[in-house]
Amino acid sequence: MSKEIRIDKFIIHFTNKDVKRINIRVKAPDGHLFISAPEKVSIEDIKKVVLKNRVAIAKTVDRIKKKVAETPSCSYLSGDSISYLGENYTLLVDFVTHKRLRHIEINQRMHILRMETRETFSMEVRHQQLLSFYRVRLTEILNPLLEKWTQKLQVSIAKVRIKQLKSMWGSCSSSGNLSFNLALIKLPPELIEFVVVHELTHRLEMNHGDHFYAIMHKCLPDTQVLNKHLKSYTTEV
Ligand SMILES: [Zn+2]
């Protein structure tokens, strides 16, 4: 039978069983410790061992938690759910062996995102595969929007980049260089347009003052609603 105890800052699941020595395992996702020990070992003994090794254990716990935080929540297996243009798509993974470019296709009617990959490709490689697909699709979506709104607002732009930004959807420099977050691909089209209009409005007004919002409101009367809606999305892809 396992007992749950707390020693220092560690949560421990402790079991006495038929083992030769004390085993300590730190398990993902929350870094709990699973300790098994021979029958004669008491909780007091375990306390001593844990406290003696607390620095090394804490390091392992931190490493595991960091790893979990960095791992994409999607495992890139058939059945996974993917956000795309504001809707949930089901991932369908097809393992292929041919050498040609492994592609990804979207079936909008069936809400299926079909991905060709190799069985041997790691999760990280599949993640990168999806990111390059997103980049192509987002470019196709942004280009006509940029054309439409640069004309309407009568503004010019310099370079346009798509990046993985940590906490922003986009940015606009005073020289007209625009950056857009790759995670925009998760948003419904009207929110992508809202971000485009926001950044292009900065070509007329750098600050988020009354003048800025007056222009935004003229372009998109629903600005406030869209802004609120945008806040319900995270900026990670
Ligand atoms: Zn802004």
CA distance 179 to 182: 9
Give 100's pLDDT tier (boundaries 50, 70, 90).
low
pLDDT of the residue at 27: 84
Residues 13-33 have pLDDT tens digits of: 999 998 899 998 888 777 889
Q: Closest by alpha carbon to 138, among 78, 186, 76?
A: 186
Residues 125-169 have pLDDT tens digits of: 888 999 999 999 999 999 999 999 999 999 999 999 999 998 899
- Cα torsion for 148, 149, 152, 155, to the nearest 10°? -120
CA of 72 to the centre of ligand 1 (A): 28
Secondary-structure percent of the chain, ordered helix, strand, coil, rounded to 5: 40, 25, 35
Q: What angle, rounded to 10 degrees, do the helices at 223-230 and 189-201 form?
A: 110
CA of 206 to the centre of ligand 1 (A): 7
Q: Is the pLDDT of residue 215 over 90?
A: yes
In the chain, where are the structural domains located?
A: 2-70, 81-122, 131-230
Taking the model in full, what pTM does it have?
Answer: 0.69
CA of 127 to the centre of ligand 1 (A): 29
Give me 192's structure tokens: 């992508």
CA of 33 to the centre of ligand 1 (A): 45
Q: Which fold has domain 131-230?
A: Zincin-like (3.30.2010)
CA distance 116 to 98: 10
CA of 171 to the centre of ligand 1 (A): 7
Give me 161's structure tokens: 């980049």
What is the pLDDT averaged over residues 80-85? 91
pLDDT of the residue at 155: 97
CA of 134 to the centre of ligand 1 (A): 23
CA of 84 to the centre of ligand 1 (A): 24
Mean pLDDT of the chain: 91
Give 225's pLDDT tier (boundaries 50, 70, 90).
very high
CA of 221 to the centre of ligand 1 (A): 17
